[in-house]
Amino acid sequence: MDSSIIGKIEKAKRYAQETDRVEVSGLTATFKGDHDTYQVGLSFGAWNCQCHFFSIRGICSHTMAIQRIFDDLLGKVAKVASPL
């Protein structure tokens, strides 16, 4: 393996341990629900979803589930829509 690649791999491992270096400003995911597929996203620190329930209540099972999935990485940045 090329020595410059080895250096980059070691640097990447170090960076991965230093999670405070990363700030997620946006995220989009496709969520396959029981009845339909929705776009769920994180923008400006708040979750959003294209489902009808979210448009009325500002929270839904899709956003709550994605919060649980990404809690460790995004917990510091994403606003919690409701207590899980």
CA–CA–CA angle 42, 44, 22 (5° rounding): 80
Helix (H, G, I), strand (E, B) or coil at 19: helix
Name the pLDDT band for 77 (thresholds 50, 70, 90): low
> What are the residue ranges spanned by the domains of the chain?
23-84
Residues 6+ away with beta carbon under 8 Å from 80? 67
Q: Give residue-wise pLDDT tens across range 54-64.
A: 999 999 999 99
